[in-house]
Structure 1
Amino acid sequence: MYCLEFAIPPLPQFLMAGHAVWKPGDQHFARVFGVYDLLLVTRGTLYMTEEEMEYEIGAGKMLVLEAGLPHFGHRSCSEDTEIYWVHFVHGHPAAHIRQEDIPWSTLLSKGTNEDVEPSSQQRMYLPKFAAVDVQSLEPLLRELDDIHNGLNVETALRLHLLLAELFAALQAECVRTFEPEPSLRLARAAVAYLNEHWRQSFQLAELEASLHFQANYITRCMKRHIGKTPLQYVLHLRLEEAKKLLGGTVLGISEIAEKVGIRDPNYMIRLFTSKLGMTPGAYRLMLRQRKGEEASGAQEQNDG
């Protein structure tokens, strides 16, 4: 299966939704459309061509027609054909990616107190053309259509939330129909183990014994699918926790090092500096200064 990859945030934005039953002889007209058109057929068959690629969208199948690409119905419906559609826009063109190449387990940077804009690493995936679980998707599409037809100030937010739910359900279809290869299953098992034991002394032998695979093979699998070796992954978790403690507590560096499983505070300082470009003390000072500036700004607004 091929999927469409969208950079997020922001999420794609809703334009309109519709529902119809096309009669035998009905056929989609030709156009070049500047928006994405998500089609889902619940009965019958819709025949569409996009850039010389023909699709037969039978009952229980979906297709996303892409913005800017020419499409048309290359054949009329031969029976009653029930269709739902949703139009949406996105600020960046979608990329094509094979389902098996989606890096589901890759670690992403999470937000911190010093961030002033969202991460650019996040992605959303939709099947390009696939069989889907109509029973779970049709209620969402029906409610989208109903709200759109009677749209008012009160229901507008719900409309956009439903679109996000629809995207989440479709991405779940990408995951559900994907059978991970053995190396990916092992990498995920290693991550699950390390998530539970990262505060403890790191021992590859214990990981090896728990998973019943040689350490070198586990390391190769994690590096391939997660992007980090087991030790790098553990250090990532420890540094993330250290950042949280530096910003949210008054604990000393030695105490924080101990809480995150690093016995030598000096090693934590070197590790922190190499990864973030500043010492833990400088990081804490930066957070305090930022909080002070925010508090000062809020006070000025109140005084004004």
Structure 2
Amino acid sequence: MSQPDIVQSALDGESVAARVGLGGDDLLLVTPTRTLVYRAEGLLSDETVEEFPHDAERVSVSEGRRKAKITLDYGLDGEETFSVPTKQLDQVLHPVLAGVLNARGITDSGETIKQTFRFSELTIVVTSARVVRHIGGAVWDEDYESYHFEDVTDLDFEEGSVATSVVITLGGSQERFKAPNEQARALRESLVDAVCAYHGVDDIDELRQAATPAEDDAATDPEGRVSFGDGPDPLDTSGVDGDIEREDGTEEAPEPTDAETTADDGFGGSGFESAGVADDDIAQELADLRSLVEEQNERLERQEQTIQQLIEELRQGR
């Protein structure tokens, strides 16, 4: 679309991101760095172009019945104000605020400002990558909060009789704010669409599923049983030739065998061996060993039952 010569000169080759008609031939144009307000020639004035840089520290609005004023505060450099028809305030404020957020580094290059909502002293800006929230008399200043969609794991909307609470879950924390019911639906659709598009999901349920941590498979075997490490040490059968530990923790020294007492009885180099341990003694030692093994097996079985019970309770979410 062609621009008046005075506008083309003021643009100086800079691209136009947004263009809003202000009535008659008057125009408001938003570039990446500034807002231009063009006033066409009238009976009492010549055509003019005013420039408002976007590096403002504060943006405020005052509304009248017919005219609304937007003020950009530049700190020590003072303030600049321009007026627009009240009925077109939202159309104008949206691109101007987008330009300021971009110039101040609140949004990233290529990030799109989806929609701006004003609820009394609460301003919500929905972008393609985050939500910017500001509370106060100004539409925006440096006392703002920003929630990046990368951290959002859930969105919920709690409807009340007058307002709807918007609940944004960010990992383990939640942020809340309220929107009037008559505007809550538009805000809900804007937020859901932006968050789902960012995460590449179709709806919030899919977002919740994607945000649910996967169970750690490293601690389970192929049959789904939980591993508690390497388990108990293997049974030490060295007790046959050494001390055998009783169940109460004391140690029982084995009785000396005949082989041990007759080792030096003159049979050492004779080529003959001692008759050794009697059959009854061997049977008793084997019986003791069998009893010890059975006790150990019972303990292992009880441990296995405990593990299986723990697995079942974990599956039930206890």
Q: What TM-score comes out, normalization by structure 1 length?
A: 0.24
Query: Of Structure 1 and Structure 2, which has the larger fraction of its residues in strand?
Result: 2
Q: What TM-score comes out, normalization by structure 2 length?
A: 0.23
Larger Rg: 2
The structure whose RCO (Cα within 8 Å, separation 6+) is larger is 1
